[in-house]
Structure 1
Amino acid sequence: MSRARNFPLPIRQFAAWVLALVASVLLAGAAHAQDAEPDAGSRALYGDGNIAVALFADGAPKPGGEWMLALRFTPKSEEWHGYWSNPGDAGQGMRLTLGLPAGWEAGEPLYPVPQRLTISGLMNHVYEGQYAVLVPVKVPADASLTDVRPITGHVEYLACTDQICVPQDAVLKATMGGDFARWRASIAPLLDARGAFAIAGQTLRIGIPLPAGVALADPHVFISNERLVEYAAPQTFRRAGDLLVAEIQLDERRQAVEAVSGILSFGDGAGVRFAAAAGDVPTNGEVIAGAQGAVAPPLWTLILGALAGGLLLNIMPCVFPILSLKALSLARAGESEARARAEGLAYTAGVVLACVALGALMLALRAAGEQVGWAFQLQEPGVVVALLVLAAAITANFAGLYELPSLSVSMGGERTGAFATGLLAAFVATPCTGPFMAAALGAALLLPVGQALLLFALLGLGLALPFLALGFVPPLRRMLPKPGAWMERFRRIMVIPMGLTALALVWLTTQLGGQAFGGIALLLVIGVLIALWIVGRLQRGGKMAWPAFALVAAPFIAFAAIALPNVYEAKGSEQTVSIHAPTPFSRDALAEARASGQPVFLWFTADWCVTCKVNEATAIERESVRDAFEAAGVVTMIGDWTVRDPEITAFLTEQGAAGVPLYLWYAPGASAPEQLPQVLTTDLLETQARANSGTPPPAASAAGSD
């Protein structure tokens, strides 16, 4: 349970927190004064008028056994609340002294699952309403129970409302009775298996052994170690089989710890206690509660987002290279209504199937422990080489070097060609996560598999929607030019965008694997083009052509298969070139940058992401932006996701992103980053910088001069 309260009266807030501080000091002094064994005749200093307390014993003690005591707290009205052992950002935990016979030992108090109360950004761990704290007492095996007097004690605690805190204390005398069955049931049970914790940069990761079947409505970890974590910071939760992994931001004032303990709240009043020792904690697993501490948005908003994102993907820069394939099919769609509908459905089927297949493969890999995201296939050098060969072959087909009737790119196919074009369109379009689409893909990592696949299918439907509409809406088709000789000329013109695409893929192979890797990939392309040229000559002579292709291309393919893995050099972060001289991303580097007190601009990119490169060329890599960042003292940081990087993938997932681009702005002192739009402008970045430097905006006459 979590509640947040904000009050418009700062003076009242200040007075409330001053009273809380005074109460804490008074309680500390009282605790020092009560170090001696309490006496039944001693007097309380403050009384328990706001939250009354009574001490109960569960029957008579037995030698060698565990005897249970209980402190029942009862607020005089619903506005008062008490605190857990670790009160959070404010408040005071209970201080208890018991007058036990010699040799008897009181254990750690056992608490119910606390509640969250946020006031003015401060997180409090509280109890509202009546609650009980159990205190186990270990009775020696040789204890004599003939002359045991009633147990007495003294307790100090804090009673608070939203506006005031009052120290409380009471002299205790145990009585038999109380509802111990209910009180025991309310205590968070201790897990039998021990957990593990690990610290990476500014993040505490805790692996809690919890069966996968346990439902978690709104999970939250209450840490017993004081000042170890930021209590109000969002928490991220992952499922890795029967292990629940919680990720929590660390407190900058923390000290080294050897063990971590606390209570995992399930979100419905239930929870478990856990203890964790330093060890390995997996970084993989399905995210079930994201960085904002909440489950995925409503499904209907995600459905609309997937559709809109797929539709907008048609005009995103990353999809432009395959628009030439669509253009030829769209021009042919006007020949007959039946043919147009058939091609529209076939193309849509190809796009949707490709999106669902890629989504299913991504989810399967993540479930198997792989850190992958959307467009993961373009992080594989072998896939990029295959795309390079395919782009070169399509370019040669457009140029008339050879004919391939089964594909629509050759103008000779119908439904089969449209289906193949749809497959290729979706496969090549994956480097982008445009507006609306990013939220849907990020949420797909949180949803059940069936709903996630539905989002991928709707993304494909949105991408195919324009072509599908042309197939089923005759007025739209009538707007297209009539088929004719111009189509052959248009086919030749399409050599230019497809040729540029092939050249871009040559550059990408070099970026992925180094110059030798790119050179061998280019040699492979040359061999395939030679084989296709021979195929074209045989086709024009009316002879059997494709056996010749296999004969000529086979040596080049075999050589590339052997040589490419041997010359591959993985891209390193040191290869990033930018006028900002950004720091390569890591969690430790980000924590250090944020600790400097300066604003931080962090962007995630990839060489195969056309949208990323357009944003960098038109907005990020501009001198005016660099000057604005320098004036504001902005720390720049880049996460290069060109090749697979588990740390970057995990971080993207925490931010609710399934792919790149992702742009984050950390204002000084902010607990969470601001996600900037996926289409950047120089004005946006300069405005962000001025907001952190106090520099006034430029005069209207100078606006947009960059």
Structure 2
Amino acid sequence: MQKRRYRLPVTVLCHLMVLLGAFMVLLGAASVPARAAPPHAPTHIAAELLAGPVKDGKATLAIRMTPEAGWHGYWLNPGDAGLGMQLSWDVPEGVKTGQPRYPVPQTLVVQGLMNHVYESEYAVLVPVTVPAGKGRIPVHVKAQWLACTEQICVPERAELAAEIAAGAPHDPRFDTWTQRLPAPLDTPAAFALNDKTLRLAIPLPASVPLEAPHLFVGQDKLIDYAAPQAFARKGDMLLVTIPRARFAPQNAAGIDAVLRLDAAGNGIALTARPGPVPSGGTMLAGSEAPKLPALPWLLLAALAGGLLLNVMPCVFPILSLKALSLARAGESEAHARIEGLAYAAGVILACLGLGAALLALRAGGEQVGWAFQLQEPVVVVALFALAVAITANLLGLFEFSVPGFASAGSPQGAFATGLLAAFVATPCTGPFMASAMGAALLLPVVPAMTLFAALGLGIALPFLAVAFVPALRARLPRPGRWMVTFRRVMAVPMGLTALALAWLIWRLGGSASLAYVAALAALVLALLGLVGRAQRSGKRALMPAFATLAVLAVGVLTMPEPRPQAQEEASIIKARPFSPEALAEARASGKPVFVWMTADWCLTCKVNEAAAIEREDTRVAFEKAGVVVLRGDWTRRDPAITRYLTEQGAAGVPLYVWYGRDGRAETLPQVLTPALLEEKAR
């Protein structure tokens, strides 16, 4: 499926407004005696009513629904958004229609909203009881439904007619449609409700395979549809635990549900009554929501993760800024402490800002994770322009003393350096940090924000140590003319950062986007040259400086829509694109599965790929063991990948998960070695 780009949570609001409007239209159509639409009015989901033959006073009607490509219809409980089908029957006296029976639906997540849908042809079967002695029985139904894509919804309707005849020939399509219905479970299940979860005990023989289970609950708004569902086996009992919806009803006399057994759409229909639900059991691989460590351990992990970011490859491009600040710290004790505190304040504030934005977007329904800012081309362009400007500043093209990113040894400069350091460094994840940031996405707001602050403190800790420990400052060289040379040398890694961001722009938006930003960078450099010339001549440079800022702002905000081009990847490892369906199919094959989550902007990912994954020895080991490799590219926002990361307790990439032949999942370290992968493949 083609990846779609979602920008802000306002899209969720628009989606809900469309659905509300569609509901009002349908409600009005049901309550006002308006004229019926033509029987064959064009729709995005074509509907047809078919009748099966009468046998022993019973027959079956089929409402065949055929969606256009890219459109979908809904199950009887549509999930977080949508609307189920509404039927109004007109049948002769003595004829009775029963409850519609739906095939097992699919799950579709759009911007964090879980929907229960059908994206291909399906049939809703309706049992009919007919009186004896009837020959041909005309049947009419007014059907109303909602047809949706991932962007828009359209209310549709049709008046359908069919004729039930005792001697009608058998239509083999009814056999196919019947096979797609969930098989009824003859033994009732038990359920228990508490304030947070719905737990069910479903009598299901242990011999029944479960490859991609999901429970569709018929009662509306009882559960959190998009939350992970935990499945456990206890003998011939299947135990299911699902988080409740925020405003779920307090009690339920009974629950009707459909249990999907596998990705092929096989399932069972069940009814549950209040009763005891045992605990324990053996968790099914991949079904358990991640267990969170205690908060103190998470805080220590966030602190250690931030500390380790200072030596991760992804942080190296901003080391030039920190190195200059460290050098200036030797000027005086008071100045060093003030600058250290200012730098730490900038780092912590940046981490808190990114964390708050991340939590707000997720609360609004967006499927985003750590480093979400680098999935937006506009942000990458802004970072590219900033890297170009800093490189020019380090080379002496112009001076930028307010706020003083590099040239001025001021608290403002240290604060701005801290902001930039955290913004560029935090997209990486490493040991300790992954578990802490993954937990932050699942915790309440206050402890989650505390974790983000601890991460920032960890990043700033080395600088604070130098600022407050005289023995460390004493080991720094004294300020002198060498700093000018050092400053020029440090322009090299910052220039390489700008080149890396330019490459990322090409990956995100194609050649046209790269040409656009290259022209923008050339114009900005020319204006910065005018700023520098005015500064060197002792004149004020306000006009060229403001012109530079205006050109940069207009250039970023008016950037054309990125059009990424299909790129042929030169890969040693033959990997398939990741999707939940591909994962379910791979695990069902009984072969080992290696899930490999990466992104073009993740330097840690690229280092792992060069050092451990994309190697001939790894390819040979994988092919010998029959390993199925699934690669998830998170360079641009992908809700399916984000959901999988969340289910694995990870906030971002890299993420490597190994599924053994027994189906058990194991999360591998974020720093891979060739020996580790070869050992797993044995």
Superposition deviation, residue 256 in structure 1:
3.5
Per-residue deviation, 1:249: 9.5
The corresponding residue for 2:657 is 664
Matched, 1:610 2:610: no
Q: 1:457 pairs with 446, 449, 453, which one?
A: 453
The aligned runs of 1:472-511 (5 Å cut-off) are 472-511=468-507
1:448 counterpart residue number:
444
- 1:402 equivalent in structure 2: 398
Once the two structures are superposed, what CA deviation does each residue of 1:494-550 show, in whole Å capped at 9, x if it has no partner?
010000000000000000111111111111111111110110001111112131233
Tell me if the contact between 2:429 and 2:654 (Cα under 8 Å) persists in the aligned partners: yes
State the alpha-carbon separation in 2 of the partners of residues 248 and 682 from structure 1: 44
Match of 2:670 in 1: 678
CA contact (8 A) 1:222 1:265 kept: no
- Tell me which of 334, 340, 359 is aligned to 1:338: 334
Aligned amino acid, residue 214 of structure 2: L
- Return the alpha-carbon distance in structure 2 between the equivalents of residues 371 and 266 of structure 1: 36
- TM-score, with normalisation over the residues of structure 1? 0.61
CA distance in 2, matches of 1:492, 1:466: 24
Opposite residue 560 of structure 2, the aligned amino acid is P
Contact 2:428 2:603 in 1 (8 A): yes
Does structure 2 retain, via aligned residues, the 8 Å contact 1:406–1:417? yes
Match of 1:644 in 2: 637
In structure 2, what is the Cα distance between the partners aligned to 1:503 and 1:126? 57
Q: Which residue of 2 aligns with 1:308?
A: 304
Map Cα deviations across residues 376-425 of structure 1 (whole Å, 9 max, x no partner): 00000000000000000000000000001124443324111111111101
Q: 1:369 to 1:422 in 2, by over 3 A?
A: same
Deviations 1:114-133 (A, max 9, x none): 99xxxxxxx99599xxxxxx
Work out which structure has the larger RCO, using CA pairs closer than 8 Å and 6 or more positions apart in sequence: 2
Name the residue aligned to 1:392: 388
CA contact (8 A) 2:504 2:601 kept: yes
Shift in alpha-carbon separation, 1:555–1:435, aligned structure 2, 3 A: closer
User: Does the aligned pair in 2 maintain the 1:223–1:263 contact within 8 Å?
Assistant: no
Deviation (angstroms), 1:595: 1.5
Structure 2 CA distance, aligned partners of 1:665 and 1:256? 26
Distance 1:469 1:361 in 2: 29
Q: Check if 1:533 corresponds to 2:540.
A: no
SS of structure 2 residue aligned to 1:334: coil
Match of 2:123 in 1: none
* Aligned equivalent of 1:565: 560
Residue 669 and residue 236 in structure 1: after superposition, are their counterparts in 2 closer, same or farther (change >3 A)?
Answer: farther
| Distance change (3 Å), C-alpha of 1:428 and 1:111 | closer
State the secondary structure of the residue aligned to 2:238.
coil
2:266 is the alignment partner of 1:256: yes
Alignment-derived partner of residue 601 in structure 1 = 594
Alignment of 1:406-445 (within 5 A): 406-445=402-441
Give the match's secondary structure for 1:387. Answer: helix
2:509 aligns to what?
513
Q: How far apart in 2 are the matches of 1:576 and 1:241?
A: 47
Distance in 2 (CA, whole Å) between partners of 1:220 and 1:604 is 23
Q: Given residue 565 of structure 1, which amino acid in structure 2 is its aligned partner?
A: P
Task: State the AA in 2 paired with 1:436.
Answer: F
Q: How does 1:111-122 map to 2 (within 5 A)?
A: 113=192
Pick from 202, 208, 211: which aligns with 2:212?
202
SS at match of 1:231: strand
Q: Secondary structure at the match of 1:565?
A: coil
Q: Matched residue of 1:598: which SS?
A: coil
Partner amino acid, structure 1, of 2:489: I
Which residues in structure 2 correspond to 1:139-154 (within 5 Å)?
none
User: Residues 580 and 626 of structure 1 are in contact (CA less than 8 Å); yes or no, is this contact kept in structure 2?
Assistant: yes
Contact 1:531 1:553 in 2 (8 A): no
- Give 1:202 deviation, angstroms: 2.2
Report the alpha carbon displacement of residue 264 of structure 1 after superposing the two structures with TM.
9.0
Partner of 1:95: none
Contact 1:329–1:408 (CA<8 Å) still a contact in 2?
Answer: no
The aligned amino acid for 2:609 is E
TM-aligned CA distance change 1:560 to 1:575, over 3 Å: farther
Aligned with residue 572 of structure 2, among 579, 588, 596:
579
* 1:624 is the counterpart of 2:634: no
Matched, 1:689 2:654: no
The unaligned stretches of length 5 or more in structure 2 are 1-185, 251-256, 280-285
Is contact 1:219-1:266 (8 Å) kept? no
Query: How far 1:206 moved relative to its partner?
Result: 3.6
Q: Distance in 2 between matches of 1:265 and 1:531?
A: 74
Whether 1:231 aligns to 2:238 is: yes
Change over 3 Å in CA distance of 1:400–1:593 after alignment to 2 = same
RMSD between superposed Cα atoms in Å:
3.8
Q: Number of residues paired by the alignment?
A: 473
SS in 1 for 2:292: coil
Task: State the distance in 2 between where 1:243 and 1:545 align.
Answer: 65
Q: Deviation digits for residues 621-680 of structure 1, max 9, x if unmatched?
A: 11111111111111111000000001110110000000000001111122x311110001
SS at match of 2:560: helix
Q: Deviations over 1:185-205 (max 9, x none)?
A: xxxxxxxxxxxxxxx992415
State the alpha-carbon separation in 2 of the partners of residues 426 and 583 from structure 1: 34
Name the amino acid aligned to 1:679. Answer: V
Question: What is the distance in 2 between the residues matched to 1:353 and 1:264?
Answer: 49
Aligned partner of 1:5 in structure 2 is none
Task: State the alpha-carbon separation in 2 of the partners of residues 314 and 262 from structure 1.
Answer: 54
Distance 1:264 1:511 in 2: 54
Whether the 8 Å CA contact 2:221–2:248 is kept in 1: the answer is yes
1:374: which partner in 2? 370
Flag the 1:571–1:306 CA change in 2: closer, same or farther, 3 A: farther
Is 2:188–2:202's contact at 8 Å kept on the other side of the alignment? Answer: no
Partner Cα distance (1:540, 1:472) in 2: 36
Q: State TM-score, norm by structure 2.
A: 0.63
Q: Which moved more, 1:400-409 or 1:334-343?
A: 400-409
Decide whether the 8 Å contact of 2:397 with 2:528 is kept in 1: yes
Question: Would the alpha carbon gap of residues 586 and 372 (structure 1) be closer, same or farther in structure 2, given more than 3 Å must change?
Answer: same
Of 204-213 and 430-439, deviating more is: 204-213
Residue of structure 2 equivalent to 1:134: none
- Is the Cα contact below 8 Å between 1:223 and 1:262 reproduced in 2? no
Shift of 1:591: 1.1
* SS of the residue 2:393 aligns to: helix
Structure 1, unaligned stretches of length 5 or more?
A: 1-106, 116-122, 128-157, 159-199, 270-289, 691-706
Q: What's the secondary structure of 1:665's corresponding residue? A: strand
Larger Rg: 1
AA paired with 1:678? Q
CA contact under 8 A between 2:387 and 2:495: conserved in structure 1? yes
* Aligned amino acid, residue 360 of structure 2: A
* C-alpha distance in structure 1 between counterparts of 2:223 and 2:594, whole Å: 37
| Distance in 2, Cα, partners of 1:410 & 1:351 | 16
| CA shift in 2, pair 1:311/1:249, >3 Å | farther
